[in-house]
Amino acid sequence: MAWNALWLTALLAGVTTALLLVAALPLAWWLSRTQHWLKPIIEAITAMPLVLPPTVIGFYLLLLFSPNNPLGGAWLAITGETLSFSFEGLVLASMIYSLPFAVQPLQSAFEALDDAVLEAAGSLGAGRWDRLFSIALPLSKRGVLTAAILSFAHTVGEFGVVLMVGGSIPGETKVISIAIYEHVETLRYGEAHILSAIMVVFSFAVLFSVYALNRKALLRAG
Amino acid sequence: MRISQACEMPPWHRLARWGKSTAMRFLVFLMCLLLALPVQAGNVRVAVASNFAPAMEALARAFELQQGHPVEVMAGSSGSIYAQIRQGAPFDLFLSADAARPARLVEDGLARPQHRAPYAFGSLVFWTMKNRAALETPGDVSAYLATLRPRSVAIANPATAPYGQAAMQVLAALGQAKVSPVQGQNVGQAFTLVASGNASAGFVARSQFYKTFQTAIDNIPPGSMWLVPADLHAPIQQDMVLLLRARQNSAAQALFAWLQGPYARTRIEAWGYTLPGKP
């Protein structure tokens, strides 16, 4: 049971992180290079999951996932399952929930790039996207890594959203935070202690690796 | 990192200057007033399981009018409230969604055995918004359940919520134990899953259809409902317990007695519950 929840949490965070990096990369690249009037609006929307209570995201997603709505209805028609109570639904929810944690480190890294290098590449005939993949990305390794680690960790720490759209199905949507909540609710404090201790150790390890990574980069730069 | 920028530090220097102002002194005065409020005499703090919270709010207002003691109502899940009381939460009275947790509190020495009493029995309703055909007999419901996809029946989590346990027993009694339901953390979430259309049907509490004291359901939902016969599941006995903390609090003791009295009993029954000591 415990291993089931642990494995599911890791899988959810892994899939979410991979998809999120793919989605966040072009968005962060565009945000870092544009002067478009839409930029602050997109930036604000991207940062909103940082500020919104998870219950707000959970509540709206619950309505969005419902078969009564176009998205939920289309999903049900295509897959034969509802988007709520499914692993796929949780991935989508987690991507929204962790979006700023992927976009912002990437955007910062891209903004810190030396414009001269990119302009030189441009004058040698590299297009906008070529410059992203052959120059910007390799130079922003640390930003990519930070984005990946933070997205993964933030998804692991997800609770409110999953509580509202998950339906607590073992092996499908019952992640570690939900398992801990249920252990406490059913007075099984021993199990809650074990899972909670794992989470404490895990979060320390993650944050430590982010800070160690940043320090190394600072030392190298300085 | 940009994430830290999202929550910008307040301008402390300005706050410090402001601290010397009259406004700040007034604020400190206000805060002292607020701090003094909870120790006001005759206050009762009631922690109540979510399913009974709307009813308790209304009962608290009635009690205040009749006896003049202010009542604060805090809603939560029975499991969390139990854990909080164990950790010294300042509640005088706890209305649980089950009988087990009040019994545990007596065992834990946090309440006296004579201060535990049932206050209501929950009634279960099978509710669907999709089906307009009448659901009148267990056979109708059983046949309808058989037509549903897996994961389209919402119940409260049987591990944590008595209404969920009862729902599982009903499914078994209907010969539909193979239905794999989705679980809300409590009966309130099960209701939301049906109301939002995420689940085609669900087992919810009859009291959830009430918003005020009425003898009939006041907002008849679309679709079909089936009031589950009480003999299809073990009784959903909801107990309350007067905590040891309230031994000096006569208002809390009065409320504990009042909730078992004739006025509160009619009100509780009018909210869709059945009463202890009554068939």
- Give the pLDDT band (50/70/90) at residue B29: low
Nearest-Cα residue of chain B relative to residue A214: B1
Of A47, A68, A85, the CB nearest to B6: A47
Chain B contact for A196 (CB, 8 A cutoff): no
Determine the pLDDT at residue B16.
44
Contact of B272 with B123, CB cutoff 8 Å: yes
Determine the pLDDT at residue B72.
92
DSSP conformation letters of A35-91: --TTHHHHHHHHHHHHHS-HHHHHHHHHHHHSTTSHHHHHHHHHHSS-STTSHHHHH
- Tell me the average pLDDT of chain A: 88
Smallest Cα distance from A199 to chain B, Å: 20
With a cut of 50, say whether residue B4 has pLDDT above it.
Answer: no
Smallest Cα distance from B165 to chain A, Å: 13
Integer Cα distance of A106 and A112 in angstroms: 10
Determine the pLDDT at residue B278.
66
Q: Which two tokens stand for residue A68?
A: 């009564």
Smallest Cα distance from B46 to chain A, Å: 19
Integer Cα distance of A9 and A176 in angstroms: 6
SS3 per-residue string spanning chain B:
CHHHHHCCCCCHHHHHHHHCCHHHHHHHHHHHHHHHHHHCCCCEEEEEEHHHHHHHHHHHHHHHHHHCCCEEEEEECHHHHHHHHHCCCCCCEEECCCCHHHHHHHHCCCEEEEEEEEEEEECEEEEECCCCCCCCCHHHHHHHHHCCCCCCEEEECCCCCHHHHHHHHHHHHCCCCCCCCEEECCHHHHHHHHHCCCCCEEEEEHHHHCCCCCCCCCCCCCCEEEECCHHHCCCEEEEEEEEHHHHHCHHHHHHHHHCCCHHHHHHHHHCCCECCCCC
pLDDT digits (tens, 9 = 90+) for A36-93: 999 999 999 999 999 999 999 999 998 999 888 899 889 988 988 888 888 999 999 9
Nearest-Cα residue of chain A relative to residue B156: A167
pLDDT digits (tens, 9 = 90+) for B14-24: 444 444 566 65
**Does the beta-carbon distance from B6 to A100 stay under 8 Å?**
yes
**Does the beta-carbon distance from B2 to A108 stay under 8 Å?**
yes
User: Tokens 């929950």 belong to which residue?
Assistant: B122
pLDDT digits (tens, 9 = 90+) for B68-125: 999 999 988 888 889 889 888 889 999 999 999 999 999 999 999 999 999 999 999 9
Q: Which two tokens stand for residue A46?
A: 């991207």
Determine the pLDDT at residue B15.
43
With a cut of 50, say whether residue B10 has pLDDT above it.
Answer: no
Determine the pLDDT at residue B148.
86
Integer Cα distance of B37 and A60 in angstroms: 37
Chain A contact for B96 (CB, 8 A cutoff): no
**Does the beta-carbon distance from B3 to A185 stay under 8 Å?**
no
Count CB pairs under 8 A between chains A and B.
86
Determine the pLDDT at residue A132.
80
Chain B contact for A146 (CB, 8 A cutoff): yes
- Give the pLDDT band (50/70/90) at residue B9: very low
Q: What length is written for chain B?
A: 279
Instruction: Note if the pTM is more than 0.95.
Output: no
Of A47, A82, A168, the CB nearest to B198: A82
**Does the beta-carbon distance from B80 to A184 stay under 8 Å?**
yes
pLDDT digits (tens, 9 = 90+) for B31-56: 655 555 444 446 899 999 988 988 99
Integer Cα distance of B244 and A202 in angstroms: 40
- Give the pLDDT band (50/70/90) at residue B8: very low
Angle between helices A39-51 and A2-33 (to 10 degrees): 160
Determine the pLDDT at residue B1.
42
pLDDT digits (tens, 9 = 90+) for A131-153: 888 888 888 888 999 999 999 99
pLDDT digits (tens, 9 = 90+) for A157-208: 999 999 888 877 778 888 999 889 888 877 788 999 999 999 999 889 988 9
Integer Cα distance of B111 and B102 in angstroms: 8
Of A164, A165, A168, the CB nearest to B183: A168
Angle between helices A2-33 and A176-185 (to 10 degrees): 130
Contact of B123 with B228, CB cutoff 8 Å: yes
Determine the pLDDT at residue A138.
86
Contact of A166 with A94, CB cutoff 8 Å: no
Task: Describe the strand order of the beta sheet including B224-227 as a list of residue ranges.
Answer: B182-184, B153-156, B201-205, B124-128, B224-227
Q: Which two tokens stand for residue B205?
A: 């509490």
pLDDT digits (tens, 9 = 90+) for B209-259: 876 544 445 455 677 889 999 999 999 999 999 999 999 899 999 999 999
